[in-house]
Amino acid sequence: EVQLVESGGGLVQPGGSLRLSCAASGFSLSSYEMNWVRQAPGKGLEWVSDINSSGSVRYYADSVKGRFTISRDNAKNSLYLQMNSLRDEDTAVYYCGRVPMAASSYHYNYLDVWGKGTTVTVSS
């Protein structure tokens, strides 16, 4: 079964750091572009970051640029999001998502597989 499982969320004080992980199973992560998307409590979806299959190209939303770093370890079939200098407004459920291979080849970016999410709460 194709599956993504996020972990690493929790309660952190403003200014603190967290590292989220996304473990892939049922497919080889190395073949896929991946994204992080978040959802604040009671709000809509907000794109956070994208990384290509090799890890050589990364994109970030302006709201997290300079604070968050996306990375991957294809040998471990895992995706990561290092979050530093956390703010109250970073409180959200964080989802990882997979881009279909056919889409990536055209620079299309929509997500056909999503994890269940991990909750990050930034509060003092």
Partner 1 sequence: EIVMTQSPAALSVSLGERATLSCRASQSVSSNLAWYLQKPGQAPRLLIYGASTRAAGTPARFSGSGSGTDFTLTISSLQSEDFAVYYCQQYDHWPPLTFGGGTKVEIK
Residues in the chain: 124
To the nearest whole angstrom, how small is the minimum distance from the Cβ of residue 60 to partner 1?
Answer: 7
To the nearest whole angstrom, how small is the minimum distance from the Cβ of residue 119 to partner 1?
Answer: 11
Reduced to 3 states, what is the DSSP secondary structure of residue 91?
Answer: coil
Nearer to partner 1, 27 or 47 (CB): 47
To the nearest whole angstrom, how small is the minimum distance from the Cβ of residue 91 to partner 1?
Answer: 17
Between the CA of residue 48 and those of 1, 18, 25, 64, 76, what are the distances in Å? 26, 15, 22, 7, 22
To the nearest whole angstrom, how small is the minimum distance from the Cβ of residue 53 to partner 1?
Answer: 17
Nearer to partner 1, 27 or 59 (CB): 59
What is the token pair recorded at 75?
């040998």
Q: Which residues bind partner 1 (CB under 8 A)?
A: 35, 37, 44-47, 50, 59-62, 95, 103, 108-112, 114-117
What distance, in Å, lies between the first and last C-alpha atoms of the chain?
39
Q: Which of 117, 48, 51 is nearest to 86 (CA)?
A: 48
What is the token pair recorded at 85?
């200098």
Nearer to partner 1, 3 or 17 (CB): 3
Nearer to partner 1, 44 or 66 (CB): 44
